Structure 1
């Protein structure tokens, strides 16, 4: 098909533009109201992961999964609508939100990862069901789950990365994250042992 004729060009691009617009609306506006973004179960009925969950379904997700503790890896933004709604919903359900601010690419202060992972383990140990999330549910959440899997479950790094990829982590565009996680893992593990949250095998 030749696109040299202006009318032909218009007839080609108009339907394409409409299709792209509809696809965008379905992905960005409709789907998040039906399905929580990148939601997954890390430990059955105990530890869950996701991206930012739309306010329209957040309360239902928390109730359906009996989640009673939220660990978010995002910084506090006073003017952020979804974040404000999350706080409002959590307060209505008397669910605490524990906030640990990491960079969007999953890097950040290693101490923040230590504190976040320690909080997750303490909450689970106290019998709570925990939701860990960031904005996309890919890098920061993926990084924390990577550390949990490799430290507490002795999962291989390769398998933990494969799980991250299943939640849309891209090692080609964020290739520095895995080396970063591997580098901070020993100190996090040592800290967990000192806190009595991790028992090393004899």
Structure 2
């Protein structure tokens, strides 16, 4: 057997072992071994990949998470039930890894994580999952946890936008942080390209009226 054939077999076995560990962790222990967790703003905003129920409990105990933002659309049933049990808020929106979110989605998420009130009825078409107060004018408390499946692409892009528009980072620095959380640009090139061609002075004031060019 050639070296290349052995290498391909090794890669295939490694992938299956990794997937096995992932599902074993989530289903049987409630813990995702590839959580890809990170602090964005200590005490205010955090990021991760897909959650297990044990992960959520640990985050609430350690970081005081009060609101989950799920970029997959609907949250997993067991995680939503655990969130309800813990008295958390949950917002689910459908973001895609193969294209950047539209301005309505970005504007909605910016209002949530900056603690501003929203008119929920204006966003009913966008909200795919919800645990939270009823009423028209709603403000969801932090700290916030934003997550997708792997915490690398959809979450990575949203955090990059936050870094640029709310913290004054350069687009280059925000892209480099995406790489540290395992974003692989050739897989979803449109997210990377959107950040490369972004003009913060035009883009950011729409999301953050207090944005100041660095």
d(CA) in 2 for partners of 1:154, 1:56: 34
For residues 78 and 186 of structure 2, the distance between their equivalents in structure 1, rounded to whole angstroms, comes to 34
Which of the pair is proportionally richer in helix? Answer: 1
By percentage of residues, which structure has more strand?
2
Matched, 1:111 2:104: yes
Decide which moves more: 172-181 or 22-31. Answer: 22-31
2:31–2:54 Cα contact (<8 Å) kept:
yes
Report how far residue 189 of structure 1 moved. 2.5
Larger radius of gyration: 1
Shift in alpha-carbon separation, 1:66–1:159, aligned structure 2, 3 A: same
Match of 2:67 among 66, 69, 75: 69
Give, in whole Å, the separation in 1 of the partners of 2:52 and 2:17.
Answer: 19
Q: Give the TM-score of the pair, scaled to structure 2.
A: 0.71
What is the match of residue 42 of structure 1?
Answer: 40
Alpha-carbon distance in 2 for matches of 1:189, 1:88: 37
- Which residue is 1:26 aligned to? 21
Q: 1:131 aligns with which of 136, 145, 163?
A: 145
Q: Secondary structure at the match of 2:184?
A: coil
Q: 2:166 aligned with 1:173, yes or no?
A: no
RMSD: 3.3
Partner SS for 2:188: coil
CA distance in 2, matches of 1:69, 1:35: 22
- TM-aligned CA deviation for residue 173 of structure 1: 2.1
Compared with structure 1, are the counterparts of its residues 96 and 30 closer, same or farther at alpha carbon in structure 2 (3 Å cutoff)?
A: closer
Aligned counterparts of 2:157 and 2:91: Cα–Cα separation in 1: 17
State the number of aligned residues: 182
Change (3 A) 1:17 1:164: closer
Q: 2:160–2:175: 8 Å Cα contact kept in structure 1?
A: yes
Q: Which residue of structure 2 aligns with residue 8 of structure 1?
A: none
Distance apart, 1:88 and its partner CA: 0.6
Cα pair 2:110 2:207 within 8 Å, conserved:
no
Contact 1:36 1:57 in 2 (8 A): no
* Contact 2:48–2:147 (CA under 8 A) maintained in structure 1: yes
Give me the whole-angstrom Cα distance separating, in 1, the residues matched to 2:207 and 2:11.
53
Structure 1 residue 178: Cα displacement? 2.8
Q: Over residues 88-119 of structure 1, what are the superposed CA-to-partner deviations in whole Å (9 max), with x where a residue is unaligned? A: 11111111112222113352322101111221
Consecutive unaligned residues in structure 2, runs of 5 or more? 117-138
Give distance in 2, aligned partners of 1:51 and 1:171: 17
- For 1:133 and 1:103, how far apart are their aligned partners in 2? 12
